[in-house]
Structure formats: structure tokens, C-alpha cells
Amino acid sequence: MKILVTGAAGFIGSNLVEHLLEKGNFVYGVDNFITGSRKNIKRLSKNQNFEFFENDISNLDDQKSELLHDQKFDQIYHLACPTGVPNLVTLAEEMLSTCSIGTKNILEIAKESNSMLLFTSSSEVYGDPKEFPQNESYGGNVDQVGVRSPYEEGKRFSESLITMYVRKYGIDAKIVRVFNTYGQNMSKSDMRVIPRFIHQLEQDKPLTVHGDGLQKRTFCHVDDLINGIFLVMDKGGKGEVYNIGSNKEITIKDLAYFIIKISESNIKVKHIERPKHDHQARLPYLSKIFQLGWSPKINLGEGLSKIIDYELPVKV
């Protein structure tokens, strides 16, 4: 199949491209490296079935746009969007334009070539949820002018736009709401909690827990997420939304001590100021994706052990 992946240089995008190439597909990747990594593209470019376009999907020039329109993709995985809590202010404009103009540009390509489309939305559409677990029908608790709004409202707008294209133009699109995910190919500069803790561990620095660390998250391994994404693309209903994530909650403080334990390190934990907009907890309701036959296979201990490259201090 001929497949387009937007956000191909990102953490999830690069893992997804790798899996698609392994299945024998021809993959076109697009990324503007705003938060993606050139290292990921360099690795993928060794495969002759991968072609890369450095481009901002919210600002496709006529030539590039024509080139993408001409390709007639069988499937489009639309992942592109700047990420990262520390980028919420600095890249706010880029988040909003990618999720609005960028998504519209990609939808036009899907409409013209009659491609199936899968959009990776986010658990951030639920904001700081008041309902647990978060069912796909839950409307969320989002502050539309809050610091997190460029990402939260951006993803919500993309979802609305995609649903409109399904209803009005009949395109075959699905939406996946991705909960916290971790795994190989996260960049060392990624400020999400797991890569941050691992980077701190590798540098023999204390793990920085925000506040009391009692806020909770669930963490899904990227390989499990990608299996879920493939299932939704193949078997998901047109216009349907699916949560994908782990349903095993852990506090951030326990996560820090767990990483210290499995790496057999004696690094300390340091409590630092917690951002005011930090969410207290998030927990996906997974019935819909379970019904498609998905279940996560990699537990947190196993997944973390695969990516922690920590050399134990020499014991004398």
C-alpha cells in the first residue's frame, strides 16, 4: 500500500513508519522538525520504500501540495502536531495552526484521493477530567483560554473538522485518543516524564518530581499503541473515536521510585515546583478498543527495562 504519515520524525510517527515499512508498505513521511528529530528520519531513510518531505502541513506550498495530492495514498496516518508541556506557550501558534489549517490540508488530500485516514488525537481533549475513567463520550473539562488550550483545543478542533469531513464528504476517517505513551525513539530532550527521568538517571541527577508526585497517569508502550492504531485503521468504524492507553494507574512519585528500583540505582528523588496547569489524573475507558480485539502486551517494568540504558556504578 502507499501510505502517508504526517509527523513521521516524531516519537510515535517514527515508530509507526518502522512498523509500516516492516509490513512491506511504501511510506511517504512529512515533518517540519519542529519537535521531531532528524535522527529518526536518517534511520528510516535507509529503507528504499521510505520517501521524506520536509514540510509544514499548515503551510504547504503549491508545488509540494500538488505533489502530495498526486500520490493517491491508500491510507493516511495524520499525527503531525508539536508536543510537549514546556512548549505550550512557545509553540502555541504552531499547535493551533497545525491542528486547524494543517488538518484541513491533509483532509483535502484524503478527500481527493479517497484515502482512509486515521487521526491521532489525545487524552488532552478531556482536559483535567472530572469523570473517571474517561469514556469516549465524555466531553471533558477544558479551559479554552488556559495555558494548555493550544494543544487541548487544537486537538478538539481537529476532531470536529475530521467529523465534519466524514459527515459532509463521506471520507473514511477514524480518531484515536492517545493516552501517555513511552518507548524507543523518545529523544533525550523530550520533556515528557519518562524520557526526562531516564535522561536524569543516565546523568546521575536526581529525578525531578513535580509537587508531591501524587498526580496519576497510565503509561502505554508505543508498540502496543501502534498495534491498536493498526486495528482501528483496519476495523474501526467510520467517524468513530477510540481511546488507546494503559488502564494501570501509577503516581508520578511511584514511577520515579520504580525507575530507580529497576535500574538498581541509588539516585535520589527531588520534589520541585509543579506547573499550575498540571492535570491531576487521567484514566482511559478501553471497552471500545478491547471490542476490536486489542489488549496491551507490554507491562511497564518490561517496557522501561528495554529503554533504560543505565550503567550501574562499578561496585568495589
Judged by the rule CB under 6 A, the positions of this chain that interact with ligand UDP are 85, 180, 192-193, 196, 208-210, 215, 217, 252, 274, 278-279
Rounded distance between C-alpha atoms, residue 8 and residue 29, angstroms: 5
In the complex, minimum distance from the CB of residue 193 to ligand UDP, in angstroms, rounded to a whole number: 4
Other C-beta atoms lying within 10 Å of the C-beta of residue 159: 19
- Closest listed residue to residue 192, CA positions, set 204, 176, 175, 178: 178
- Closest listed residue to residue 247, CA positions, set 279, 285, 298, 304: 285
52 — phi, psi (to 5°)?
A: -120, 135
In order, the DSSP letters of 206-270 are -EEEETTS--EEE-EEHHHHHHHHHHHHHHPPTT-EEEES---EEEHHHHHHHHHHHTT----EE
Q: 115 vs 218, which CB is nearer to ligand UDP?
A: 218
Q: 49 vs 180, which CB is nearer to ligand UDP?
A: 180
Q: Determine the Cα angle at 292 with ends 165 and 168, to 5°.
A: 10
Which cell goes with 110?
A: 484524503
In the complex, minimum distance from the CB of residue 94 to ligand UDP, in angstroms, rounded to a whole number: 17
Q: Does residue 37 sit in helix, strand or coil?
A: coil
In the complex, minimum distance from the CB of residue 303 to ligand UDP, in angstroms, rounded to a whole number: 15
In the complex, minimum distance from the CB of residue 78 to ligand UDP, in angstroms, rounded to a whole number: 20
Q: 105 vs 134, which CB is nearer to ligand UDP?
A: 134
Distance of CA 151 to the CA centre of its chain: 12
In the complex, minimum distance from the CB of residue 302 to ligand UDP, in angstroms, rounded to a whole number: 20
Helix 252-262, helix 193-202: angle, nearest 10:
40
In the complex, minimum distance from the CB of residue 275 to ligand UDP, in angstroms, rounded to a whole number: 6
Q: 206 vs 239, which CB is nearer to ligand UDP?
A: 206
Rounded distance between C-alpha atoms, residue 149 and residue 156, angstroms: 10
Rounded distance between C-alpha atoms, residue 75 and residue 5, angstroms: 9
Which cell goes with 27?
A: 511510506
Identify the sign of the CA torsion 33, 35, 36, 37.
Answer: positive
Farthest CA pair distance, the chain: 70
Q: 276 vs 315, which CB is nearer to ligand UDP?
A: 276
Which cell goes with 33?
A: 522538525
In the complex, minimum distance from the CB of residue 110 to ligand UDP, in angstroms, rounded to a whole number: 28
Task: Report, as residue numbers or ranges, the catalytic residues.
Answer: 151
Q: 71 vs 184, which CB is nearer to ligand UDP?
A: 184
